Amino acid sequence: MLSSGDLVYYVAAVISVALFGLSKGGLSALGALGIPVLSLAVSPMKAAAITLPILIVQDWVGVWAFRRDFDSRNLLILMPASLLGVGAGWLMASYVNDAVVRLAVGLISLGFVAFMLARDRMAIAEATKADIAPGIFWGAVSGFTSFISHAGAAGFLVYTMPQRLEPRVFAGTSVIFFALVNLLKIPPYFLLGQFSRENLYQSLLLLPVGILSTLVGVWLTRVIPMDKFYKVVLVLSFLVGVKLVYDALAELL
């Protein structure tokens, strides 16, 4: 029989993996909620380790679909930079306690809300090019936030959205970038001891939820009004972010 703690974990885990699946299915904003939700039940790094194998399976389905549609210059700039961000995330997780990581996850969630509210302004100016200096900065930011909470989209979008890439090339570049970043995270997670037998078992247990929710996400993108949907996502992201920041500060102080 499940204890109340087990029940809270499994409810949070199913919701978290479903959010990632719906995100991969086309409701992209939901992915930012995945780790914050599961971090309400377990440590953020444990949450990230459990969901990473599921994300990798989902990623490489997308890579196959977009294998011919991507911008190579953007990938060549962003990938080395993302390695710096992943390394910074690894160092942070190695030397600080769970409360600090939880605080970082909460702040990333709130930062995502701020970005989503401001992102429409990026389409107003003249289209930019894939320049190296900003690409290194935003690629590193994306790698860091992806390592901590699988939420690297904001940094990637800040850099690529103003370029106004052709939609399929934009989607393919995003899919391939994050598929590669997720692979980069495997060695640091091993070194942090997060790929335990227990965590991998939980990943396997939750994998069907990830696959099913991806298919549901594809269907939902065709039937629900996106404007209202994203408003709900922003409210939830804000509330969860505030909760994580509050809990972390209460523990630290």
pLDDT, tens only, 136-170: 999 999 999 999 888 888 888 888 888 888 878 88
Integer Cα distance of 157 and 155 in angstroms: 5
Q: What is the DSSP string of 193-232?
A: T---HHHHHHHHHHHHHHHHHHHHHHHHTTTS-HHHHHHH
Q: Indicate the range of 38-42, 93-97, 150-154, 219-223 predicted with least confidence.
A: 219-223
DSSP designation for 4:
H
Task: Give first-to-last CA distance, the chain, whole Å.
Answer: 36
Higher pLDDT, 74 or 169: 74
Integer Cα distance of 206 and 208 in angstroms: 6
This prediction's pTM = 0.83
- What values do phi and psi take at 112, rounded to 5? -60, -40
pLDDT score at 127: 72
pLDDT score at 141: 92
pLDDT score at 100: 87
